[in-house]
Amino acid sequence: MAAKWLYWFDELGIGDIELVGKKCANLGEMTKAKVSVPPGFALSLEAYQRYMQISGLTEEISGFLQRFGEQGPGGYGEFLEASSFIRELMETKPMPPDMAAEIRQNYRSLCIQCDQEDVAVAVRSSGPVSMPGAFETYLNVRSEDDVIAHIVKVWASTFTVQAIGHRVNNNHPLLIPGIGVAVLKMVQAKTAGVAFTMHPTTMDNTKVVIEGTWGLGESVVGGGVSPDRIVVDKLTGEVEKHINPKLQQVVYKDKGTHTVDVPEALQNILCLNDDEIRRLVALALQVEKYYGVAQDIEWVFDDSQGTSDLYLVQTRNISVIKSRKKEAEQIADMMLRRVFHSRVG
């Protein structure tokens, strides 16, 4: 096994997908591109394998799965049985001491860098292959112990019902090479959402489409609210604004997040002002130019310091292929996944 399994974002780039997964590789690439990305570090797929082998989980899970025969679990009931047993088993296994010590040391370094004690972080899955909704993510995680516990929870989410079903239905092994994990500073979101540098339904590459709401962006990417929609013409700068009632928002609590009512005065006004729209479009186009292909971007405005600071927390390529019909089907499927599943993979 490789000796190194933890990397800071500035050590990574787009060529490291097989090392740390797509999300972490993209966060590294955006960091190198000088895009405003929250600071943090990544655990590689090797870290997952190390945990599984040292803890004995690989052997224990393999033994448990034998009860389902050579074909493995079949049908929702057996997927649920396998998921419940394996996830509970994984979450009871302690992190190997040397791994725990290294994670603690790097989390403390992140706290120092952010000048905050027990800085709040997001602990996100980062698969080498996109599987939206299959794995889990945890927000507003604080303290060394909680970071370690939630990394294990992300690893255990490789055995969600959906993930098991996907592997069985595609004849893939139930024991996987692993997933990466991103640990990055949480942004105190005033407003957040997604931006497409190509219209996601008409495939018009002269448009930037922004969707946003108050609070954290999980309600937008997970389809929990009807966000505001802003369409900006790349050529003329013309802006179309569509305001939707935003009745609820996802916000911090002491640990984790919860959903609260949006103040009445904010429910029916646009969640971005003209300057924020301009800045977001400019940054989205900068990212599109850097990658050379249309992008699907997750963004957030942070006003914790009394200023409206813009951060990007994810970007993905929107694949452009010759068949426009196939393009539209792919983007429609992507949008449906937003509605029916939280994006955590």
Q: Any idea what the CATH number is for the domain that residue 267 is in?
A: 3.30.470.20
Position 133 scores a pLDDT of 59
Each residue of 77-97: pLDDT tens digit?
999 999 999 999 999 999 999
Q: What is the pLDDT of residue 317?
A: 87
Using the 3D structure, point to which of 164, 185, 206 is the last residue of a domain.
185
> In this predicted model, which residue has the larger pLDDT, 134 or 199?
199
Q: Coil, strand, or helix at residue 130? A: coil
Question: Are residues 333 and 209 located together in one domain of the fold?
Answer: yes
Residue 238 is assigned to a structural domain of this protein: yes
pLDDT > 80? residue 220: no
Domain assignment of residue 345, yes or no:
no
Q: In total, how many domains does the chain have?
A: 2
Predicted pLDDT of residue 76: 92
Tokens of 158: 């490789």
Q: Check whether residue 179 and residue 193 sit in a common domain.
A: no
Same domain (yes/no): 211, 176: no
Band of pLDDT at residue 1, cut at 50, 70 and 90 = very low
Whether residue 156 is found in the same domain as residue 249: no
Residue ending a domain, among 185, 202, 236, is 185
Contact 221, 335 (CB under 8 A): no
- Tell me: do 112 and 210 sit in the same domain: no
Q: Which two tokens stand for residue 236?
A: 């003329």
Which pLDDT value is given to residue 254?
73
Q: Does residue 96 lie within any of the structural domains?
A: yes
Structural domain including 180 reads: 6-185
| Gyration radius (Cα) of the chain, Å | 20
The verdict on 199 and 166 lying in the same domain is no
- CB–CB of 46/76 below 8 Å? no
Torsions phi, psi for 117 (to 5 deg):
-80, 135
CA distances from 122 to 41, 268, 323 (A): 11, 29, 38
This prediction's pTM: 0.85
**pLDDT value of position 159:** 95
Query: Would you say 228 and 217 are in contact if contact means Cβ atoms under 8 Å apart?
Result: no
Pairing mode, strands 207-214 and 189-196: antiparallel
Is residue 344 pLDDT above 50, yes or no?
A: no
- The whole-number pLDDT of residue 85 equals 97
Strand 228-233, strand 121-126: pairing: unpaired
pLDDT per residue as tens digits for the range 261-307: 889 999 999 999 999 999 999 999 999 999 999 999 999 999 776 67
Same domain membership, residue 195 and residue 330: yes
215 plus 153 within the same structural domain: no
Give the whole-number percent of the chain exceeding pLDDT 70. 87
Q: Are residues 318 and 212 in the same domain?
A: yes
Whichever domain contains 104, its CATH number is 3.30.1490.20
Domain boundary residue among 163, 185, 207? Answer: 185
